[in-house]
A and B are shown apart, each in its own frame.
Chain A
Amino acid sequence: MQMINKTKDNCGNGDAFVAYLYGELPLNDRERFEDHLLDCTACTDEFASVADSRYSVYEWRKLDFDPLETPVFQIPYNEAKASIGWFEAFKGIFAIGPRLATAGAFAVLIAVAGFAFINGGFGSGELAKIDEVPAVVDNSLPSEPIRTESATVEPNTDTPEPIVPLPESNEFAKTEEPAAPRRKSVSPKRRAATVVARNVQQVQAPDTVPRLNDFDDVTDTSLRLSDLVADIGSLDD
């Protein structure tokens, strides 16, 4: 920076003023400028004037545009604890949280269940009762099966002709059963009697209670397609 001798004005150092003011003057030029200020009254006054203007703008920016400080909130907590009566203190012992109460109840439930299991409550007693149920059912059933494969349907006493035994309706034994015997010729009167007898037999349900495993004893008296075909064939005859 070229320093000019003292004059009435600012020695032509306007650029140096602003550069020094904002700290952008090189170190050597800065020291020379400071030495010049000590010797030059005009430059000192001029620099003071520029510095005052700059501070006015700086102050405006600082007060109006700088971010606000984060306020600090101090909440005055009341540290003095209220006096608690003996009853409240006693209740406080049992005042457990809902989670703890649920866990305790669950633990008690598991303990009771385990105790019952160890004592055979579910292992022998209950299961033995379940085993006894079929026995009771068996007692109610007749000693002899109602109908076997070779057995014939009891014909109604009113019917003049004996009823042709129907095949078993058991689906499990259907594959092993032989096909229904094909009747060659049945008179319409006889066929009507057969149907009536069959309906009567359906109405007269067996007295015994059906069981899950008594399919061998149940007689299927429902109308079969083979019977109708047989009847049609007899009509053709």
Chain B
Amino acid sequence: MYRDLSDEQLVAMSVSNDQEAFGEIVRRWDRKIFALCFGMLTREDEARDAAQETFIAAFRNLKNFRGEAKVSSWLHRIAVNQCLTTKRRKRTRSEEYLDEETNEQERVFLAPDNLVPSNIAEQGERLVIVRQAVSSLPIDLRQVVVMKEFEDMTFQEISDTLDVPLSTVKSRLYTALKQLRAKLERLPMEVA
């Protein structure tokens, strides 16, 4: 029932105290919000916490959503705010960060996605699609993706290895990620 609804309809239903509708929003955007947080925080545990905090903040501010922007943009904005708050907190109170983590043991953590049985099949299917998408990239773009993601080379090292300018390396990687995004968006929402 909820899968056929748009994000705006789900938000409207959530405002009217339909918790299942907000659950559908979380299920639909959980992975992308987590990827955004991971891109900003570079740590999975921090990214998972930030994603959880993002959805909590969104649920609390449902009534403030005016519909002027897309729901995805609204969630992205909340996620970026949450990540920056986490980074600033970590930067200013780096020594107290671990103590704070230990004091928050009473918080309820969600099980990692790879441990949920229903997600294992989706994950395997997604990996096959990602592999095919990377393989279908042009050779110059695929080359940069492999060297950056699998060989852990810096942009400067890739530039020296391929004998191309540094900006070319960055633009190639950006183009490769965009093409991957286009290939993965053709997948069903729950898989992509």
Contact = CB atoms under 8 A, between A and B. Distances in A.
Interface string A168-193: 00000000000000000000000000
A87 interface: no
A14 B31 CA distance: 22
B69 A41 contact: yes
A17 B180 CA distance: 15
Given A18-B170, A56-B184, A65-B150, A48 B130 contact: no
A55 interface: yes
Nearest to B80: A37
Secondary structure at the A interface, as helix, strand, loop or mixed, is: helix
B149 to A, nearest CB: 5
A57 B141 CA distance: 13
B42 interface: yes
B181 A45 contact: no
A211 B87 CA distance: 114
A57 B145 contact: yes
B121 to A, nearest CB: 13
A48 B73 CA distance: 9
Contacts of A122: none
A59 B35 CA distance: 10
A52 B76 contact: no
Interface residues of A, number: 34
Given A55-B39, A60-B131, 4 more contacts: A14-B171, A37-B80, A49-B181, A56-B126
Interface of B: 31-36, 38-40, 42, 69-70, 72-73, 76-77, 79-81, 84, 87, 114, 123, 126-127, 130-131, 134, 145, 148-150, 154-155, 167, 170-171, 173-175, 177-178, 180-181, 184
Interface of A: 14-15, 17-24, 34, 37-38, 41, 44-45, 47-61, 63-65
13 contacts: A14-B170, A14-B171, A14-B175, A15-B174, A19-B155, A23-B42, A51-B39, A53-B177, A53-B180, A53-B181, A56-B184, A61-B149, A63-B127
